[in-house]
């Protein structure tokens, strides 16, 4: 445990860890979003405000994709709600990892902190959980999130104006980084049950997708997470029986 | 259907609410679930499974620039990175191995 570090140093470490790759990777993904949003017919402020207020990349892509094809308002809202349902679980799990209850924050401060909870930040928390004490982890999260958010916003705005900034054969390499980076973090999650859940979810979802489309994330998550819990329980029972 | 400017702003506001609503629900529920309980373990496990599912779907059924690469190249390079991560536990080494092999694969095709 790193006790001797000051708040500034920890926040700076978070910012540096973000800049080292994840923030730049997310910025490039948002570059793609900005370009798609312009093609779909959004103006600059609509595009910027969507990233600012939704801050959940897969939902945003689904949203502008449907908007471009002229889908009904109902379908768009359902698609975004469905794609971002995981936010609820990530916020519960993130509050638990950050021990948010112990921090003496007002409700609005907590709402503000959780607005930035998205896949990249959450996976980083899961990865860094045991490196810092709860108080330090929140400081780390703030430094990390601020940089990721700024890069995401900058990427969105740049993507809107310069969708041909990067040639396609470079862009596809850059876009590969975000899913790769986060899957690697998940493979190294601190607890075995969570690694197992990630494995189950990843293995199931492409097949469920063929049958259930957008619902597959939810279904694969529920089955994968529940199965992982059962496996862990069964192993504990076995260990007890053997003793 | 083509939407007017004000209708589009309205839809964006709904999309923001549809996401913010889940975050708010998460904050309210987080207070009710005790950290050591099996419910919290289950929520954490489902969150991990869902996030892994989202990212694997991006890998298997991509849109945009990534869709111009082959499925095999994306999955083989992911497997290389994951294998390296499990053996060495070194994030940067695994990333570099996976990404550079992806760059080679993509430029060959």
Is any Cβ of chain B less than 8 angstroms from the Cβ of A110? yes
Tally of domains within chain A: 2
For tokens 């629900």, the residue is B25
- Across chain A, what does the average pLDDT equal? 88
- Selecting from A32, A42, A220 the residue whose C-beta is nearest the C-beta of B64 gives A32
Residue B82 domain-assigned? yes
A226 shares its domain with A175 = no
A70 within some domain: yes
Q: Is A49 inside any structural domain?
A: yes
Q: Are residues A206 and A185 in the same domain?
A: no
Q: Can you read off the two tokens belonging to residue A47?
A: 């595009």
Q: Is residue B54 part of a domain?
A: no
- B3 reaches A (C-beta below 8 A): yes
The overall average pLDDT reported for chain B is 90
Does A180 fall in a domain? yes
Instruction: Tell me: pLDDT of A84 over 80.
Output: yes
What is the pLDDT at residue A145? Answer: 96
Domain total of chain B: 1
Counting Cβ atoms within 10 Å, is residue B106 exposed (0-12), middle (13-18) or buried (19+)?
buried
How far apart are the C-alpha atoms of A101 and A95, rounded to whole Å?
8
Which residues 127-166 on chain A approach chain B with CB closer than 8 angstroms? Answer: none
What is the arithmetic mean of pLDDT over A59-73? 84
Regarding whether A182 and A106 lie in a shared domain, the answer is yes
Asked which of A5-19, A26-40, B94-108 is least confident by mean pLDDT, the reply is: A26-40
Q: Which domain holds residue A205?
A: 192-243
Query: Is A171 found in the same domain as A77?
Result: yes
Q: Which residue has the tokens 């503000």?
A: A112
Give the number of other CB atoms < 10 A from CB of residue A118: 26
pLDDT confidence of residue B26: 94
The HSE-up count of residue A170 (CA atoms within 13 Å, CB side) is 7
Distance from CA of B65 to the nearest CA of A (A): 5
User: Å from B5 to nearest chain A CA?
Assistant: 9
Q: What is the pLDDT of residue A164?
A: 65
Q: Is residue B83 part of a domain?
A: yes
Domain hosting residue B101, numbered range:
69-109
pLDDT band at A102 (very low <50, low <70, confident <90, very high): confident
* Amino acid A163: pLDDT: 57
Chain A closest-CA separation from residue B28 CA (Å): 9
Residue A1 has pLDDT above 70, yes or no: no
């Amino acid at each position: 445990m790193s006790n001797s570090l000051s708040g500034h140093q920890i926040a700076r470490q978070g910012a540096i860890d973000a800049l080292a790759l994840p923030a730049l990777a997310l910025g490039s993904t948002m570059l793609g979003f900005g370009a798609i949003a312009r093609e779909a017919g959004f103006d600059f402020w609509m595009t910027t405000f969507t990233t600012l207020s939704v801050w959940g990349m897969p939902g945003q892509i689904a949203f502008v994709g449907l908007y471009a094809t002229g889908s009904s308002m109902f379908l768009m809202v359902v698609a975004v709600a469905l794609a971002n349902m995981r936010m609820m679980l990530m916020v519960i799990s993130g509050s638990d990892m950050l021990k948010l209850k112990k921090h003496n924050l007002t409700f609005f401060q907590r709402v503000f902190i959780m607005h930035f909870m998205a896949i990249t930040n959450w996976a980083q928390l899961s990865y860094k959980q045991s490196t810092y004490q709860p108080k330090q982890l929140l400081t780390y999260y703030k430094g990390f999130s601020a940089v990721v958010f700024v890069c995401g916003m900058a990427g969105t705005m740049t993507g809107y104006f310069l969708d041909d900034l990067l040639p396609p054969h470079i862009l596809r390499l850059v876009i590969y980084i975000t899913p790769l980076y986060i899957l690697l973090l998940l493979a190294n999650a601190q607890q075995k049950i969570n690694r197992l859940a990630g494995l189950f979810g990843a293995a199931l979802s492409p097949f469920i997708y063929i049958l259930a489309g957008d619902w597959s994330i939810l279904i694969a998550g529920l089955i994968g997470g529940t199965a992982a819990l059962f496996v862990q329980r069964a192993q504990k029972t076995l260990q007890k029986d053997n003793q | 259907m083509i939407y007017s400017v004000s209708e589009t702003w309205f839809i964006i506001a709904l999309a923001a609410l549809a996401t913010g609503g889940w975050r708010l629900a998460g904050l309210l529920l987080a207070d009710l679930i005790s950290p050591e309980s099996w419910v919290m373990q289950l929520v954490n496990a489902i969150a991990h499974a869902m996030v892994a599912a989202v990212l694997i779907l991006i890998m298997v059924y991509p849109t945009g620039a990534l869709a111009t690469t082959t499925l095999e190249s994306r999955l083989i390079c992911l497997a290389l990175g994951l294998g390296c991560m499990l053996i060495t536990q070194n994030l940067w080494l695994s990333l570099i191995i996976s990404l550079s092999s992806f760059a080679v694969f993509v430029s060959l095709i």
